[in-house]
Structure formats: structure tokens, C-alpha cells
Structure 1
């Protein structure tokens, strides 16, 4: 990176922190910290929802997928409208009616404390790990490019986000997310333009070469459930996106920050649909990288063609293929994607700790001053834990894979429980609990059987594609709870 690129990046980082701090209020309520007292405009909330959805993981991973294979993973984005429609139709009116800043108050009202504690606890664990992973991924390109100490980068980034998240509250998070979304989109558009117009024959060559290698394929339209077909990815996307837009605290808190239900629906609609063309940009960038290095094969070092290196091709191009100044902007774009996700996790995690645990189990009235103090402390603890865990990830990368397997197992039961509580009004506590236990056992088997059932036990492996794990697990929880409630009622 040139000096100009480094200056651009540092100015961006300082500017975001100072802008976030500018929202500090000396006299603040917990409601203002968590939901902005319901005064934020829908367009800003929509950009914040979009920025939360696009983490630095997707900023680097989607081009890597398109570079390596085709656009089959883009089908995930095409499923978003279905999930958003369901969230708008069923969940947003529900949360606005409940009136709590926590998404999980509904579960306690529906099934009792166990349901809320289960979902809220594992959601918090997932957020801490999410912060750690993104801090690690943000530090990695700076380490590769500048040879800076990764721990120093992680600490500086984590503390920077923590400062403006705590001082500015949800207003700082939403408005900085809006700015970061614009930077992120700008960086992606510029990169694609540079790739296309760097080819000898211009954009026409981009489409010619990509079509010749079938890079635009959305996958097979067959009905196989063991392969990553169009339909398998589409169904998987509906369930994952419904889990995001329908029950994830990060999104529900945005809905509660809107002025009314109509604006909450507008923000969900706009923020969700914006991801579709932007993810298309990322896939076009990945395809552009394939075409670029197909036309100029000598510009890509041999090690980047080895298995497992596809995610590194985009960062390499950022450093070696972009003009001076653009590299700094793209690094800032990657940080924008990561920082918006981290700030959201800190604010939402602190809200869950206050609403679902501290206020619930403190046997006295909690004052506003004490509530705000708890929110500050909880945000700081989540960030510090994320920083410490990211240090561990640096040394033991395999721990990352293990955790995400476990996180997928436990988060898989959340959607089924929400759907059961909402659509089956007569399902009681015990059938719901049995459904969750059975669903989690199925999810654990589907997730771990390929690794542990080998040799003579291979016949006990999950025969379906791994994408269908959350689909089957959610359906098992819902159908078990529903059918058991019918049997109990009949008896």
C-alpha cells in the first residue's frame, strides 16, 4: 500500500469513530440507547440492515466463490424476497405489538423463561464469536499487506468500534452503518469497473470469456437433495434469511427503532432487497477476477491457484491491481462491512443482556441510570471477549471451524421454536420443549455424522446436502410440537 492509501484508510477509521461519538448524550435512557426512542428514519435503518447483513466475510468470500466456480451461491440472494415477505407479514407486526426491545420476550410470554433463556443465551454466544471472527478477518489483510502485528490491529479496530457504539448508542450504529454501506457499495462498483475496463477488449470480453467457461450458471435445476442444486440453495436461503429477518435480534432492534410499523416494514423491505444487486456485484467481481487472470495469467502468482486460496485472490488484486488511492478505499470498504456488523452485535447483545437477563432476574426496580450503565458495561464485555477470542483464533484456526459447527447446531433450533410459537397458538410448554430437544438431536446428527460415522458406520451418515440441515431441523421442531399438542389435547 502506498502512503496515500494508508492515509485514506486512517482518515476513514478516525472519521467513523468521531462521527459515532458525536451522537453522545449525557442524559440518556436505555430506550434511547437501544432503539433511539423510535425516531430513526426508515431509509437509514434500511441501509443499516443492509450493512449488518453484509459482513467482511461476504465481502471477501462471495468473489472467492465466483472466482472458483459459478453463481450457484447467488441463488441464496434470490430467496431473500420470500423471507422478507414473511417477516413483514407476520413478525414485524408481532414485535411492534409486544413492544419490547428484545426479540425474545415473545418466547417467554409464549412458552416461559426456558425458551427465552435458551435462545437468548446461544444467540449471545454466537454474537461474541461473530465479533471475534470479523476482528480476525479485518486484521488479516492488514497483516498481509503491511506486515502489522495482528493483535495490535485487532485491539485498535475493536476498541474503535466499541467507543463509538457505547458513546453513540443505536443512533451512532445506524448512521455509521448508513455511511459504511455507501462506502462499501462504492468500493464494489469501482472494483468491477476497473476489472472490466482493464481487459484488452473491454466489458465485452468479460462476458465472452465468462460465458465460455459457464461462470454465470446458477447450478443444476434437478431435484437431487444431495447436491447444491438451484432448489436446495433456494430453500436453504429461505430458512436462513427468515431466521435473519424474522427472529434475529440484530434486525428486530432495527424494526423497533423505526417511527411506526409502516416505516419498520419499509426499512426491512429496502435493506433486504438492496442486498440482491450488491451481492450480484460481488459475484460479478469474482467472475471478473477469473476473466482478468485468464487474460493475464502471469499477473497471478501460482500459489493463488492452489486449493483453499480462492478467498485470497480478491485481496491480492486490491493491492496489486488497483490504482493508488483505490486500494485504500477498498480496504476501507472491507473495514466498513466488518465494523458495521461488530457495532450491531455490541449494541444488540447489550440490549438482550439488559432486557432478558438483568431486568428479568434483578429482584428490584432498575433505574434508567443503572440500565444505561449495564448497557455500557455489557457492550464493553462483548467486545473484550471478542478481542480475546480472536487472539486464540490466530493461533488455532481449526477452533473456528469447530465453533461454527456448534453455533450452527444450536442456532438451528431457534427458528423452529419461533414458528411453533407464532403459528400454533395452542401448543403448550411441554410439546414445544420436546420438539426443540428432538430437533436439536436431528441437527446434531445431520451436522456431525459425516465426520464421525465412517467405515462400517457410513450407512448412518446424513444422506442429504448439508444446506438442508436447518430446513429439516426446523421442520422437526415445528411438526413434533404441533403433533404432540394434538395428541395431548385428544387424550
Structure 2
């Protein structure tokens, strides 16, 4: 299938324009702190749109409709936890980091527990970002491959290089302002697509609802307390812990807290970004469900190779290119890329910051000249971008990118949130409770995540859903650390 000239033009103009716009901020940076936080002069609305656009990656734009098409709205339960996590962020996390005024999210952990905590947390963060960027790049390649037969590896490489260029050169200001533009575009694109799907249905929205209800496509999942399945409660608890980790210890969010002019504006941006994602994610699930009903009515419009639920992530992009009017197809493809590019650029910039602040400056070369700091930031951005391209290539062939990403996010989280909460909510000055808690947390995470391997060797398994790895790992870090810290304090008091 060939892309019409008008659609190809719309798409290319957008991509080239975004890369050029982002790269133009290269000429506006004066100090490394401008590269990392924008000098604390970014407006709240732009930061809020940036937080929102970071949430709405291609994982959301493609995998959420794919998940709804394949099963139901169980994945939407993840979004329901965001407002609560946002409240905790505004109440506690934003004031804490604004007070510390450190470019690194992990300096606090060093102050509380020592060097090992900062190295451990920052390393887990870098691994998480590599997994995230790899999943996003793969999902960006899916529509082009499904629609035009272009090589997935070639698409991953080309789009990865494009994002690296402006993220590396422009710093956080390029990330935030391009995110603001891309956030608007992806909302318009998603709304337009949903309206057109409804328009194509003979019975309109009521027919979509009727078919979806009959097929149980609107279910939020089972409300049973079976913790081995993807129930409502499993996804809700998982989402709460993941989102608390995002707001509490994710470097990219902390940079946005510091990028605002005042603490009040930082809180506004946090609320804007988090609350906007909830209805937009609902829109993506509605798109997936509407696509299911559409192809139930018109099965002849869907190629045989896409009728298997294993290819659910490819159905939405196929609809875009086969059904939408000329011009709108190019806009929608641009919206898909907007969703992915915004998150990729954020991950690249925050990862470069972590490499500079938490590793190079802290332990290798503490007194780097500003010119050399810039070089480290540029080189780190390039290396992380290159590594994410390789991870994206490794994703090629997975049946569900959303499930794969969620599993990797749990594994690489390493219970960092538990360590952070241990620092904030306890007073123990000994590092032994924290180290012991982390070790116990890692054991729990490995025990849940490596269930198939353990079962193959006849070892006992916990029979829990893999998404619970981050939940129980975080709880293990905090509970073990809290109890041991209390015991240490009691012994010292005797």
C-alpha cells in the first residue's frame, strides 16, 4: 500500500518541523542548568502539557486501542489511579524537590542512606528508561510496517535518530515545548479518528455501545481477589505504585518540578498533566472498542493477517491508512509519531541528566567545567538514544508490547519507591535496614518476575501476576526497612 503524496507530505513536514523546532533551542542554552531544568522559567501550562504528552506515548496511542480491541477496558483501571498519585505528588513530592533544589532526583536518597542508594536508584532508572524507549520505538514502527510494508528495523533506526537529534541538542526546553505542540496534535488526532469510526457505523454510537456491551468489551476486569490474574484490583494497585514512582522518583518529573517558576506553578502543571491523561486514555480505549465493533460489522474490510488478536496493535494503524480521508491519514500518522517522540525525547534528556549528575560529576569528575558538562550531556543523550534503538530492535516480534513493557517496568523498578518512602517516612539513621530492605525487595521482584524459569527447575513459585512484582517489591523494601530501623533505634535507646 502506497501512501498518497498529500499524506506523505503532511507527515514529513511535521517530523522535519518538530526536529527543526526542537534543535533550535540549542542556540538558547547558556548553562548546563538551562539544559536540565530550563533555568526554572518554563510556564505551568507548557510543563503540564509536557507531563501529559510524556504519559501519552505510542504505548498509549497504539497499545491501549490494541488492548481494548483484543480484550476489554481492564487496562483503563491503570489511569484511575493517577489522580490519587497526583494528589500525593502535589502534597508531598513537589515541595520536597523544590526545597532540595538538586537537579538529580536521587540526591535525596544519598543524603538519607549514602552513596549506594543513589547509584542503585539511578541505575534502575536508566534501565527502566531503556526498556520504555525500546517499547515506544517498536510501537512507532508498527503502523508503517503494517501499512506500507516498510522494514521495522529501518523505521526504528530512522525515527530514533530523528528524536535523538533534537533531544540531544535542545535540552529540556526543546522537550517541553515540542511536547506541548505534540500533546495538542495527538488529542486532535485521537478525537478526529474516534468521530470518524462512529460516523462509519450504520447505527452510530448506539450501535457501538450495543455490540460492545453484548461482547463484554466495556468490562474493567474481574472484581475477584485472584491475584494471579489481571483483575481490576491487580491493575489498580499496580497503577497506583507505578504512578507514585513516576511522580516521586522519576527524574523526568522532578526536572519539570524544578523547571516551573514557582512551587505553585509546579503544582498546577502536575495537576494539569495527570488529570488530562485520564479522559484521553479513556478515549484511546473507546477507539479500540469502536474498532472492534466496526470490524464486527465489516469483517471484509480487515485483512486476514490482522484478524488474529495477536496483531491487535496493528489494527488501529490499518484503519487509519485504509479508511481515513486523504490528508487526515498523514495527520494521524504524525499524531502517532508525536505521541512516541514526546516520550522518547523526555527519556533521553532525563537519562542524560542522571548520567551527568549521579555518575560523572558525583564520582568521576566532581569539578567539570561548564563546557565539558555540555559535552557529557550531549554524549550521554546520544548513547542512550543509540541504546534505545537497539532495545527497540529487540522488541520486534512480541505479541503485546503493552504487556511486555509493564513486565519490564516492574522488574527494573527495583523497589526504588519503597526506598524513597523509607527515607521520607522513617527516622532511622542506620543504612543496614535500608540495604536489607532493598535486598528483600529484589528477591521478591525476581521471585515473581521469573516464575516460568523457577517453575521449569521445580522451584516454588508465588502464583502471582507479574505486575505485582513492583507492588510487593516496594512493600518489602519499606516494611523490612521500617521494622529493622525500629529495632535498631530501640537497641540504641537501651
The question of a shared fold, defined as TM-score above 0.5 by the shorter chain, is answered with yes
Of residues 131, 144, 147, the one that matches 2:146 is 144
- Using a 3 Å threshold, how does the CA distance of structure 1 residues 156 and 465 change in structure 2: closer, same or farther? closer
Corresponding residue for 1:314? 316
- Using a 3 Å threshold, how does the CA distance of structure 1 residues 39 and 67 change in structure 2: closer, same or farther? same
Unaligned runs of 5+ in 1: none
Q: Could you give the per-residue CA deviations for residues 238-293 of structure 1, whole angstroms, max 9, x where no partner exists?
A: 11111112211111111111111111111111101111000000010011011101
**Residue 138 of structure 1: how far off its partner (Å):** 1.7
- Using a 3 Å threshold, how does the CA distance of structure 1 residues 166 and 88 change in structure 2: closer, same or farther? same
Q: Could you give the per-residue CA deviations for residues 116-165 of structure 1, whole angstroms, max 9, x where no partner exists?
A: 00111121122233333322332232233233344443333222212212
Of residues 302, 305, 308, the one that matches 1:303 is 305
Report if aligned partners of 2:127, 2:412 keep a CA contact under 8 Å in 1: no
Report if aligned partners of 2:57, 2:340 keep a CA contact under 8 Å in 1: yes
Q: What is the alpha-carbon distance in structure 2 between the residues aligned to residue 363 and residue 3 of structure 1?
A: 52
Corresponding residue for 2:481? 481
Of residues 416, 433, 436, the one that matches 1:434 is 436
Normalising by structure 2, we get a TM-score of: 0.93
Normalising by structure 1, we get a TM-score of: 0.94
Report if aligned partners of 2:34, 2:172 keep a CA contact under 8 Å in 1: yes
Q: What is the alpha-carbon distance in structure 1 between the residues aligned to residue 75 and residue 202 of structure 2?
A: 29
**Residue 175 of structure 1: how far off its partner (Å):** 0.4
What secondary structure does 1:23 align onto? helix
Of residues 142, 159, 165, the one that matches 1:157 is 159
Aligned positions, number:
489
- Using a 3 Å threshold, how does the CA distance of structure 1 residues 403 and 91 change in structure 2: closer, same or farther? closer
Q: Which moved more, 1:106-115 or 1:154-163?
A: 154-163
Q: What is the alpha-carbon distance in structure 2 between the residues aligned to residue 317 and residue 277 of structure 1?
A: 22
Q: Could you give the per-residue CA deviations for residues 379-398 of structure 1, whole angstroms, max 9, x where no partner exists?
A: 11211222344345448999
In the TM superposition, what are the counterparts of 1:291-440 in structure 2 within 5 Å?
Answer: 291-394=293-396, 408-426=410-428, 428-440=430-442
Q: Could you give the per-residue CA deviations for residues 322-348 of structure 1, whole angstroms, max 9, x where no partner exists?
A: 111121111111110111111111111
Report if aligned partners of 2:72, 2:218 keep a CA contact under 8 Å in 1: yes
**Residue 71 of structure 1: how far off its partner (Å):** 1.2
- Using a 3 Å threshold, how does the CA distance of structure 1 residues 403 and 452 change in structure 2: closer, same or farther? farther
Q: What is the alpha-carbon distance in structure 2 between the residues aligned to residue 199 and residue 406 of structure 1?
A: 38
Unaligned runs of 5+ in 2: none
- Using a 3 Å threshold, how does the CA distance of structure 1 residues 54 and 474 change in structure 2: closer, same or farther? same
Q: What is the alpha-carbon distance in structure 2 between the residues aligned to residue 87 and residue 387 of structure 1?
A: 32
- Using a 3 Å threshold, how does the CA distance of structure 1 residues 301 and 111 change in structure 2: closer, same or farther? same
Q: Which moved more, 1:22-31 or 1:275-284?
A: 22-31
Q: What is the alpha-carbon distance in structure 2 between the residues aligned to residue 29 and residue 52 of structure 1?
A: 25
**Residue 172 of structure 1: how far off its partner (Å):** 0.9
In the TM superposition, what are the counterparts of 1:14-413 in structure 2 within 5 Å?
Answer: 14-25=16-27, 28-394=30-396, 408-413=410-415
Report if aligned partners of 1:421, 1:427 keep a CA contact under 8 Å in 2: no
Q: What is the alpha-carbon distance in structure 1 between the residues aligned to residue 265 and residue 106 of structure 2?
A: 22
Q: What is the alpha-carbon distance in structure 2 between the residues aligned to residue 76 and residue 130 of structure 1?
A: 17
Report if aligned partners of 2:182, 2:335 keep a CA contact under 8 Å in 1: yes
**Residue 298 of structure 1: how far off its partner (Å):** 1.6
- Using a 3 Å threshold, how does the CA distance of structure 1 residues 254 and 412 change in structure 2: closer, same or farther? same
- Using a 3 Å threshold, how does the CA distance of structure 1 residues 413 and 306 change in structure 2: closer, same or farther? same
**Residue 179 of structure 1: how far off its partner (Å):** 0.6
